[in-house]
Structures are given as structure tokens and as C-alpha cells.
Amino acid sequence: METCIFCKIVAGEIPSKLVAETEHTIAFHDISPRQPVHVLVVPKSHHRDVVELSKHAPFELLDLVQLGNRVAEQLTNGSFRLQFNTGAEAGQTVFHAHGHILSGTPRGSVDAVPMSEDEALG
């Protein structure tokens, strides 16, 4: 679709901060992150929302979820949300299917807090 912003990102016509990609799916950082980790996982083919994607290209939806999981393994401590806003009233603003990988616990965030001497000695 000529006017779709995510189709343009997939085509490389608009820059994005790429995280990972497969034959069917691209993952890139959200332009205005709402959590310390906020990555969008986007099918390369155009479908209005996740329901349309599931009807017309179920394999691509599976690929999207699997890539989202790989991104979460790389960037988080294992706890994350995969969110699909579906319909304008639910907050969907870009009508090209996409999932949000959201996490408040980036990888290493727990380890980054040093143990006190008491904790270390048990």
C-alpha cells in the first residue's frame, strides 16, 4: 500500500531502528517508546490488523509471534507483553497489523543492582 507508513518502513523508504528480521517479519524500535523495551513486530505484507492477518496469512502471524519472542529473549529478562491494538477505539493508530513487545525489565536490569555484603554472604 503506497500510503501506509509500515509498508514504507518494510520497503526501506522510511528509516527505522531495526532489531531483527525474517523472510516474513520485521522488528524495529517504536519511535515513541512507552516502556524501557518497546519494539514493534510487523508482517512484511499489508493486512489491516491482527485479525485480518490471522485469516489471510496465519503462517505470517506465527512467524511474527516467534520473532517477537526472540526479540524479547534478546532484550528483556524474560517478562514481557505482546500487545495487538485492534480498532481505533482500542488505540490502533497504524492500520498495518503489528504487535508491540513491551517490557519494564530490560535484560540485565536486575543484575545491574549490586548485592549488598549481607546478601552476598547470605
Catalytic residues: 98
Q: Quick one: which H or E segment has residue 101? A: strand 99-103
Options 22, 85, 105, 109; binder of ligand 5GP; rule CB under 6 A: 85
Tell how strand 37-43 and strand 81-83 pair up.
Answer: unpaired
Through-space distance between the first and last CA atoms of the chain, rounded to whole angstroms: 60
Closest CB to ligand 5GP among residues 89, 111 = 89
- Min dist CB 37 to ligand 5GP, Å, is 13
Please give the grid coordinates belonging to residue 33: 517508546
Among residues 22 and 94, whose Cβ is nearest to ligand 5GP? 94
CB of 88 to ligand 5GP, least distance (A): 9
Quote the CA–CA distance of 20 and 105 in Å, as a whole number.
19
- State how far the Cα of 122 lies from the Cα of 101, in Å rounded to an integer: 36
Query: Is residue 24 involved in binding Zn ion (CB under 5 A)?
Result: no
Residue numbers at the binding site for ligand 5GP (CB under 6 A): 5, 14, 16, 28, 30-32, 40, 85, 91-94
